[in-house]
């Protein structure tokens, strides 16, 4: 890596590694993927590039109009395979919607090769949504989607030539997390005095989820990894605008000049979702930075006991779905 690449990487930008999905991803015909938040930002690029390679892609989104518009735009970019793109209703903040989305895929598909847990919000004002701090749903909604799909992922992993992947999109912002306490929802639901701390907690959970999931799949041919995609110009800055008004807008406009493009920003998750290199190098439970480079996350993010505590809390939350929905 060049000196410039190393400095850029430390600041959360691309290290300049050349990796191109058009050559780095093989033909995916016959394979099936779910991309959450596939209607916008790096999720949209991820869905588009997987589809270009022949993969059937479920765009798991909360807004049908936006999802159908994204499907239209992807079809325009790679025409001829309209049946390969499907809108899957999914709202991170509603456990029942995750359950229903997982059931739909189980009923319709014989296989599931890739899940990219990408949807998320950043730096939103403090609010409890269905009984849980709104940004913590960045983790909990994905847990609720992935867990019931594990039998289908495991079944697929036994097929000849299978390269099954779960990708958890985190952020270098996981380093803003408070001293973590995943012993109860009350502990998670604290305000912590800063929206960035709460975002950090959710993004730390994205990494620990990948760790705990990989542990459960350690004997399977399934690779689970997490990543910081980069500092990218996307709609994610809607959160800072809602929290900080003028200063949020300022951040948004600086990002439009200084940040990475969504295409560059989607590369690391595309690599983890579909590059054969991940299986060849047997990357399991690792954290990556752009572009497609293994890195060391914070000490909390390497804490396996914490990962187990989070898993337990998430399972308990799922059991309380009805109670949370009426909170
Ligand atoms: N951009 C960056 O610099 C950056 C840096 C580090 C990490 N990340 C991570 O990258 C991921 C993608 O972000 P992005 O930059 O592409 O942002 P984005 O353009 O705002 O896209 C976020 C996607 O998540 C969806 N989403 C948000 N809340 C949802 C919910 N409750 N249920 C279902 N879908 C929901 C959005 O849907 P709607 O269109 O309906 O809102 C949208 O499709 C996030 O997990 C983010 O934390 C981004």
Domains located in the chain, CATH noted: 3-9+16-325 (3.40.50.720)
Tell the residue nearest (CA) to atom 16 of ligand 1: 41
What does the CA dihedral 202, 207, 212, 215 come to, rounded to 10 degrees? 170
Query: Could you tell me the sign of the dihedral formed by the alpha carbons of 109, 115, 121, 126, in that order?
Result: positive
**In the prediction, which pLDDT does 157 show?**
98
Ligand 1 atom closest to 122 (CA)? 47
pLDDT digits (tens, 9 = 90+) for 180-225: 999 999 999 999 999 999 999 999 999 999 999 999 999 999 999 9
**In the prediction, which pLDDT does 4 show?**
75
Catalytic residue among 203, 283, 286, 287: 203
**In the prediction, which pLDDT does 82 show?**
66
pLDDT digits (tens, 9 = 90+) for 32-47: 999 999 999 999 999 9
Nearest to 117 by CA among 232, 8, 208: 208
**In the prediction, which pLDDT does 27 show?**
96
CA distance 102 to 83: 19
The residue ranges of the chain whose pLDDT is under 50 are: none
Tell the residue nearest (CA) to atom 6 of ligand 1: 171
CA distance 127 to 211: 28
CA distance 327 to 283: 40
Ligand 1 atom closest to 234 (CA)? 19
Helix, strand, coil percentages in the chain from 3-state DSSP, rounded to 5: 55, 15, 35
What is the Å distance from ligand 1's center to 38 Cα? 9
Burial state string for 53-77 with b = 16 or more CB within 10 A and e = fewer than 16: bbbbbbbbbbeeebbeebbeebbee
**In the prediction, which pLDDT does 78 show?**
81
Tell the residue nearest (CA) to atom 33 of ligand 1: 91
**Which residues does a 6 A CB cutoff place in the pocket of ligand 1?**
37, 39-43, 61-63, 66, 90-93, 118-122, 169, 171, 228-229, 231-232, 234-236
For 13, the token pair is 């930008």
199 is catalytic: yes
203 is catalytic: yes
């Amino acid at each position: 890596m060049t000196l410039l690449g190393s400095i850029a990487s430390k600041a959360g930008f691309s290290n300049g590694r050349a990796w191109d999905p058009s050559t780095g991803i093989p033909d995916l015909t016959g394979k099936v993927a779910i991309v959450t938040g596939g209607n916008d930002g790096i999720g949209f690029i991820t869905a588009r590039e997987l589809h270009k390679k022949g993969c059937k892609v479920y765009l798991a989104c909360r807004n049908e109009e936006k999802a159908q518009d994204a499907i239209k735009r992807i079809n325009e970019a790679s025409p001829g395979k309209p049946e390969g793109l499907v809108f899957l209703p999914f709202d991170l903040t509603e456990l029942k919607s995750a359950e229903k989305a997982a059931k739909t895929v189980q009923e319709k598909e014989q296989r599931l090769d890739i899940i990219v847990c990408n949807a998320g919000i950043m730096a939103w004002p403090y609010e409890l949504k269905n009984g849980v701090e709104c940004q913590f749903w960045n983790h909990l909604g994905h847990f609720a989607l992935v867990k019931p799909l594990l039998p289908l992922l495991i079944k697929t992993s036994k097929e000849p030539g299978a390269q099954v992947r779960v990708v958890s999109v985190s952020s270098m912002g996981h380093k803003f997390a408070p001293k973590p306490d995943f012993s109860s929802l009350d502990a998670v639901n604290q305000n912590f005095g800063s929206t960035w701390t709460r975002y950090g907690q959710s993004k730390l959970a994205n990494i620990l989820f990948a760790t705990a999931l990989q542990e459960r799949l350690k004997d399977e041919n399934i690779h689970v990894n997490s990543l910081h995609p980069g500092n990218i110009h996307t709609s994610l800055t809607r959160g800072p605008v809602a929290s900080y008004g003028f200063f949020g807008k300022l951040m948004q406009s600086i990002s439009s000049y200084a940040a990475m493009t969504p295409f560059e920003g989607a590369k690391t998750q595309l690599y983890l979702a579909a590059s054969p290199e991940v299986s060849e190098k047997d990357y399991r439970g690792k954290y990556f930075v752009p572009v497609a480079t293994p890195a060391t996350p914070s000490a909390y993010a390497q804490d396996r006991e914490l990962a187990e505590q989070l898993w337990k809390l998430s399972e308990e939350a799922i059991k309380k779905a009805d109670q949370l929905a009426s909170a």
